[in-house]
Amino acid sequence: MDELVDVDPSALADSETVVALHRQLARLEAVASRASAQWDANQHWAADGARSGAAWLAAKLRIPKLQAQRTVRLGRAMRELPHAADAWLAGDIFGAHVSALAASRGSELLTMAMERDETELVELASTLSFRALQHRLAYRRDGNDNENEQRRAQRQVEGRRVHLSQTFDDVWVLDGSLDTISGAIVDTTLKQIEHELFDADWAEARARLGIDPRVCDLRRTPAQRRTDALVEMATRARTAPTNGRRPEPLFSVLIGLPEFERLCELVNGTVLTASTLIPWIDQAWIERAVFAAPSRVLDIGVQRRFFAGATRRAVELRDRNECFHHTCEEPIEEIDHIQPASWGGPTIQDNGRGACGFHNRNRNRHGRDPDPP
């Protein structure tokens, strides 16, 4: 460690070395977590009059108590997840993976399922993106203990809350917690209005500068646009006609091949239990997607410049609402032509791929595909 500390950062700044450093850091964290859990079990902290091992660590290391608790908790999880522990100690997975696997135990049924499937899940953790792993774990929890997942979903609904209070400086502070579906409705609407404000800011900056602006040239920060979008959402609600159409959620239920035996989620990719849909059935849209192959959604569409309608949804479903770029797990904002439309690329499912706003703009800005060679 002393030798690494003394090395010039530029000598370690290539991609291969950075990845290797993070893997070694994961191994060291695994060792520290395992040792901390054993130290905690031995109650060596009690002699100092500490309330717990985590409290002692937080005080001695001057770190947040939540961080200390996480370290001890992961060390305990390593005892119950031997395959995950070995993979973490080898640097093949990270603490976040172990935490996700540990959270997928819980009930007796889920614990039994984890004991049965741990080797397979650790392999998935070492190969899939973290977002994809979370999806797999959510479906496994629902499949192995559906009643427990239904209770968890119901607790989310019962625990919904929003607090809006005014401070002494007349600033309003907003805090709250929304269940999965209600949160998705608010998030989708907020993002839609925020996107409108972004387009307006972009057009204003382009007119002001005379060239395509950078994000830092826009007159509002992303946080300011989200705030203004929330105010605009409330304003539109006050001015909406009494006979206006209420927003209706869209649920995707995919049935077909073995790997799609039962998928149920929101458009944004959030996994749902089937029972969660029931209260929304009378006011929601439910779409059916038929897969002809793991990466092929049967689709009938017409040639057009922009992906829309059923063709767009087919790409979103096929790509699991995740950006195509190998470094990105952001949700899809645009459907990108693999072969650009300007080069004659057709607007069909096979020539489309989901992209976040950044990677879609980046490719078009530089006139090249950002995929690595």
Cβ-contact 36, 60 below 8 angstroms? no
pLDDT in tens, 293-341: 655 665 433 344 567 777 888 888 888 788 888 888 888 888 888 888 7
Q: Which residues are CB-contacts of 309 (< 8 A; sequence separation ≥ 6)?
A: 301
Instruction: Return d(Cα 70, Cα 337) in angstroms, integer.
Output: 43
* Per-residue pLDDT reduced to its tens digit, 226-261: 999 999 999 888 877 766 666 666 666 655 444 445
The model's pTM is 0.69
| 362 and 340 Cβ atoms separated by less than 8 Å | no
Q: How far is C-alpha 164 from the chain's CA centre?
A: 26
CA dihedral (49, 55, 58, 64) positive or negative: negative
d(CA 310, CA 313): 5
CB 248 within 8 Å of CB 285: yes
173 contact partners, CB below 8 Å, separation of at least 6: 163, 164, 165, 166, 167
d(CA 39, CA 71): 12
pLDDT in tens, 136-177: 999 899 889 989 888 988 999 999 999 999 888 888 999 999
